[in-house]
Structure 1
Amino acid sequence: AEEKLFRDLFRNYNKWIRPVMNVSDNVTVTFGVSISQLIDVDEKNQIMTTNVWLRQEWNDHKLQWNPEDYDGVTVLRVPSTDLWLPDIVLYNNADGQFQVKQQTKAEVQFDGMVLWVPPAIYKSACAIDVRYFPFDKQNCSMKFGSWTYDGAQIDMKFGAMTYDGANQSLEHQMEREEWSNGEWVLEDAPGARNVVKYECCPEKYIDITYHLIIRRLPLFYTINLIIPCLLISFLTVLVFYLPSDCGEKMTLCISVLLSLTVFLLVINDIIPSTSLVVPLIGEYLLFTMIFVTLSITLTVFVLNIHHRSPNTHNMPVWVRKIFIQTLPKLLWMERHEV
């Protein structure tokens, strides 16, 4: 019965023509996305990789039949390559793969309703805001729409975005554990239907855009980056407690400066190269390096003064007045009698 039904349905079927009775009619496509995995967020290249299922449903009047004529068959699973498919693509794709690669079968009901749920791995462009790295949140969008058909030919209805088939609306916050990939947590994924008129064309085009609100899990960077950086920065203060006769005074300053430079290079390797905003941790490292540089300069000056002798240098009058007469009184220091 299914073989006979398949032959009867596709004997004169043309998959290149929209399934409408009149040319002025539009095809209503109910569209939804089901996220199965948040694979990766590449901050350096500003690309988000997701594993999704695309749910597309529409009515094709040319694929209707009476179940009584075919032994009660009400559902037919057909290769999607034999059907007319809406050319819905991801507009903000980042790797050139706009359409679905895996052409899975579609489910055709006896009343002409076609359900096609292909899986896809998308790489979408995502503008990364590194201001509060690594305690940051990102808003990455995925914009879906027809590439060639305008709103008068294909109308897209907003469908709920779900997780592994769970009926969960976009306006509600997602379960944190379900969306974690070790580094990021998808907190919410609201969607909206937009009608846009582009400068190139007089027609209006319809798209459905999902905004994925993701939050970084900062534990890894806190343990391996922030805490070591704070501890190394604290060592700068200890330089002033070392006696001038100690030869490691300058070595400690240089070691701290080199360590901070390494941390800064690590951060620059992670975050994107942008001049729009400077991360706070980058500003902290920069000012700490300036402070260490000043401490090195001051240490050089102190060592130079320490190794001077009365045989080679005379003490200036202003030095004697400030450091011997004035400052000891202010600091409550007593001069030892010789």
Structure 2
Amino acid sequence: MKMKNSGYVVIMILLISFFRESFSVSYTNFDAFFKNITGGKNINLRPVLDHKSKVNIYMFFHLINIQEFNEVEGKLSLTGYFNISWVDQTISWNSTDNEIEEVTLEEHIIWKPSFIIGNSYDGVKFIHKDHTVMRVQSNGVVKWTPGDNYEVVCNADVSRYPFDTQLCKLQILPWGYTSEEIVVVPIYDYIVQLWFNPQKTWEFIESSIAKNEGLQLLEFSMKLKRNPMFFVLNLILPICVMIILNIFVFLLPPESGERVGYAVTVLLAIAVFLTISSDNLPATSSPRISSISLLLFTDVVISAVIVLMVILSLRYYHREDTYLVSSFMRGFVNVSRILRCQVCSCRRKKEKYNETGNEEEIKWTDVGKEIDIICGIFITVVICIVNALYIIDVTVGLPGLD
């Protein structure tokens, strides 16, 4: 019984060996096949049997990573590869004869199209490095997947920084061929993101592809949106805190002697944030100046006005009583008190201020206090309006600025 089973095993091994030899390709046969399909090729000639025929080049771009977007330099760094295919009419074989479906060839063995980056950041750049390979199928279809790190020009629009959205483009066009010789055909109308690694600073929103028929140029457009939380916490909120602290200068007692120093310190702090912001933005006013730059400039102007107001109020507060309070200043103090009482619905104080004979009781210290109150209210309203306009501008946009 064991001998019988052993006989079956031997027969099975012989059959497997036979079929393996029948369907395998030896190195010698493969080498001869390789020399047959590549020998005598002129890689400078387009792979068409009729020289007047056009070569259709099918292409799509696969984005892998957005390395960096430098707004100041206007440079976008991408990592990805192109999937390019065409039909080589000079190479084809019957795969049933030798069981070879496709082969891998180096790029210098057969013809391939040349493409450059139309908006390269640093000179003329081809879309591939040397020593890339191509796969050739038995029906003559050649597939080429060159990949690299591509640096392209992308002028940033920082009008609504850091809540901005950028539109960057990667332009590809054939080098040395006309539209009568090759035709570039985009396979998809978008950028493939099958293995895309999201970037922490920029969010990929959408993509599109446009073609220039005359130049056979493909334009891969990418819409990127900034993640603003880091800039909100490290730039915008500190600016808001600084400008709010500016208001409290009018609550400091004039006798402390720190009011002018406090106001100047806040002014310098806002100027420092203005410097930090300008370092992160391109030195351009096209299409318009950044909203954050306008906000910081306005805050600097407001802080400078506050310094002047503080100096003015202290001058009146510390004026000697030997100088009589002018009628204009007495009227200013009375009107200010009455208006504040009407707003606060304080009837008793209103009646007190309307009584005759109270004008003689007004002193220079009262004038200084009223100036502080009026300036504090005025600056608070101005700051609220400025910040409200900034919020509207970065969200929906202000008419006249866009």
Moved over 4 A (4+): 333-338
Q: Identify the residue that residue 180 of structure 2 maps to in structure 1.
A: 152
Larger radius of gyration: 2
Q: Which moved more, 1:7-16 or 1:215-224?
A: 7-16
1:270 maps to amino acid: N
Q: Which amino acid aligns with 2:263?
A: C
Name the structure 1 match of 2:108: 81
Q: How does 1:44-83 map to 2 (within 5 A)?
A: 44-69=72-97, 71-83=98-110
- Select 1:122's aligned residue among 140, 144, 150: 150
CA contact (8 A) 1:102 1:120 kept: no
| Letter in structure 1 aligned against 2:193 | Y
Which 10-residue stretch deviates more, 97-106 or 56-65?
97-106
Whether 1:28 and 2:39 are equivalent positions in the alignment is no
Aligned 8 A contact 1:79 1:103 in 2:
yes
TM score, norm. by length of structure 1: 0.87
| 2:202 is equivalent to residue 184 of structure 1 | yes
Q: Which has the higher strand share?
A: 1
Give CA-to-partner distance per residue, 1:65-92, whole Å, 9 cap, x none: 23345x3112110111222111112101
Deviation per CA, 1:173-224, whole angstroms, max 9, x where unpaired? xxxxx552110011111112321xxxxxxxx321211110111001110111
Q: Name the residue aligned to 1:93.
A: 120
| Higher percent of residues as helix | 2
Q: CA deviation at 1:248?
A: 2.0
Give the Cα–Cα distance (whole angstroms) in 1 for the partners of residues 162 and 248 of structure 2.
Answer: 28
* Contact persistence 1:49–1:122 (CA under 8 A): yes
Q: Report the counterpart of residue 199 of structure 1 in structure 2.
A: none
Structure 1 unaligned residues grouped into runs of 5+? 166-177, 196-203
2:282 to 252, 259, 272: 272
Which residue of 2 is the match for residue 307 of structure 1? Answer: 318
Match of 1:241 in 2: 251
Find out whether 1:254 has 2:264 as its counterpart.
Answer: yes
- After TM superposition, give the deviation of residue 135 of structure 1 in Å: 0.8
Structure 2: stretches of 5+ with no match in the other structure: 1-28, 342-348, 363-402
Which one scores higher on RCO, CA 8 angstroms, separation ≥ 6? 1
Say yes or no: does 1:112 pair with 2:140.
yes
SS at match of 1:20: coil
Partner of 1:275, secondary structure, is coil
TM-score (norm 2): 0.74
Aligned length, in residue pairs:
315
Partner of 2:67: 39
For residues 258 and 2 of structure 1, do their structure 2 counterparts lie closer, same or farther at Cα, with a shift above 3 Å needed?
farther
Percent sequence identity over matched residues?
23
Give 1:180's aligned amino acid: P
| Code of the aligned partner of 2:108 | T
Corresponding position of 1:228: 238
